[in-house]
Amino acid sequence: MTDGFQSCAITGSGGSGAVTAGMMVLDAAARAGCYGLMTRSAGPQIRGGESAAMLRFGASPVACMGDSFGILAALDWGNFFRFAGEIPLTAQTLILADPGAGKVPPQLEAYSEQIRWVNLRELADSLPGGRFNMVAVGAIAACAGLPLAAVLQAASAILRAKDAAVIDASHACISLGFQQFSSDGKEPLGKEPDGKKTTALPEVPRRWSISGNEAAGLGALRGGVRFVAAYPITPATEILEWLAPRIARLGGALLQAEDELASINMIIGSSFGGVPSLTATSGPGLSLMMEGLGLAVASETPVVLVNVMRGGPSTGIPTKSEQSDLNIALYGLHGDAPHLVLAALDIGDCVLTLHWATRLAEHLQTAAIVLSDQLLGQSRAIIDPPGLPELNLARRCMPLDQGGDYRRYQFTEDGISPISAPGVPGGSYTADGLEHNESGTPSSMAGDHAAQLAKRRDKLTRFDVGPLWAEISGEGDLCLLTWGSSHGAVLEAAATLNASGRPTRVIGLRLIAPLQRDALLAAISGTRVWVVELNQDGQLFHYLRSEAALPEHAMSFARPGPLPLRPGEILTAIAAEATDDHR
Partner 1 sequence: MTTASSETATHSSTTLRAKDYKSEVKPVWCPGCGHFGVLAALTKAFAYLGLPKDEVVTVSGIGCSSRIPAYIDGYGFHGVHGRALALAAGLKAARPDLTLVVAGGDGDGFSIGGNHFLHACRRNMDMTYVVMDNEVYGMTKGQASPTTQPDWSHSKLTPRGTGVPRFYPAAIALAAGASFIARGFSGDPNELVRLLVQALEHPGFALVQVLSPCVTFRPEQKGWKQAVHPVAEPAPDDPGKAASLIQSDDGLAIGVLYAQRQPVYQPRNRAEAELAEIEAEFLL
Which run of H or E residues covers position 511? strand 511-513
Give the footprint of partner 1 on residues 12-41 (CB under 8 A): 27, 30-31
Residue 431 binds partner 1 (CB under 8 A): yes
Query: How far is it, in rounded angstroms, from Cα 281 to Cα 260?
Result: 8
Q: Of the listed pieces 111-119, 232-240, 250-258, 448-456, which binds partner 1 according to CB under 8 A?
A: 250-258
Residue 395 binds partner 1 (CB under 8 A): no
Q: How far is the CB of 368 from partner 1 (least distance, A)?
A: 17
Query: How far is it, in rounded angstroms, from Cα 551 to Cα 529?
Result: 8
Q: What is the dihedral of CA 238, 240, 246, 251, to 10 degrees?
A: 180
Query: How far is it, in rounded angstroms, from Cα 529 to Cα 536?
Result: 19
356 phi/psi in degrees, rounded to 5: -65, -45
Residue 458 binds partner 1 (CB under 8 A): no
Q: How far is the CB of 415 from partner 1 (least distance, A)?
A: 21
| Beta strands across the sheet bearing 470-473 | 470-473, 504-509, 478-483, 528-533, 555-558
Q: Of the listed pieces 60-68, 422-430, 460-468, 548-556, which binds partner 1 according to CB under 8 A?
A: 422-430
Q: Of the listed pieces 56-64, 182-190, 366-374, 429-437, which binds partner 1 according to CB under 8 A?
A: 429-437
Query: How far is it, in rounded angstroms, from Cα 484 to Cα 308?
Result: 11
Candidate residues 185, 403, 404, 425; the one interacting with partner 1 per rule CB under 8 A: 425
Candidate residues 97, 148, 382, 493; the one interacting with partner 1 per rule CB under 8 A: 382
Give the footprint of partner 1 on residues 275-294 (CB under 8 A): 275, 277, 291-292, 294
* Cβ distance to partner 1 smaller for residue 171 or 226: 226
Q: Of the listed pieces 38-46, 120-128, 207-215, 494-502, which binds partner 1 according to CB under 8 A?
A: 207-215
Q: How far is the CB of 340 from partner 1 (least distance, A)?
A: 20
* Cβ distance to partner 1 smaller for residue 76 or 349: 349
Q: How far is the CB of 425 from partner 1 (least distance, A)?
A: 5
Give the footprint of partner 1 on residues 127-166 (CB under 8 A): 157
Query: How far is it, in rounded angstroms, from Cα 483 to Cα 55?
Result: 22
Across 59-203, the runs of DSSP E, i.e. the strands, are: 71-74, 94-97, 115-117
Residue 442 binds partner 1 (CB under 8 A): yes
* Cβ distance to partner 1 smaller for residue 222 or 310: 222
Q: How far is the CB of 32 from partner 1 (least distance, A)?
A: 11
Kindly report the number of other CB atoms within 10 A of residue 16's CB atom. Answer: 23
* Cβ distance to partner 1 smaller for residue 61 or 78: 61
Task: Report strand pairing: 340-343 vs 511-513.
Answer: antiparallel
Query: How far is it, in rounded angstroms, from Cα 302 to Cα 102?
Result: 57
* Cβ distance to partner 1 smaller for residue 12 or 348: 348
State how far the alpha carbon of 316 is from the alpha carbons of 271, 283, 328, 560, 565, in Å. 32, 9, 15, 12, 19
The identity of residue 419, as a single letter, is I
Residue 251 binds partner 1 (CB under 8 A): yes
Candidate residues 110, 189, 248, 394; the one interacting with partner 1 per rule CB under 8 A: 248
Residue 565 and residue 531 in contact, taking contact as beta carbons nearer than 8 Å = no
Rounded to a whole number of angstroms, the CA Rg of the chain reads 26
Q: What is the DSSP letter of 564?
A: P
* Cβ distance to partner 1 smaller for residue 120 or 290: 290
Residue 437 binds partner 1 (CB under 8 A): no
Beta-ladder partners of 227: 253, 277
Q: Is 388 helix (H, G, I), strand (E, B) or coil?
A: coil
The identity of residue 547, as a single letter, is E
Task: Report strand pairing: 253-256 vs 50-58.
Answer: unpaired
* Cβ distance to partner 1 smaller for residue 30 or 481: 30
Site residues, partner 1 (CB under 8 A): 27, 30-31, 157, 206-210, 214, 218, 221-222, 226-227, 229, 246, 248-255, 257-259, 261-263, 265-275, 277, 291-292, 294-295, 299, 382, 385, 422-434, 440-442
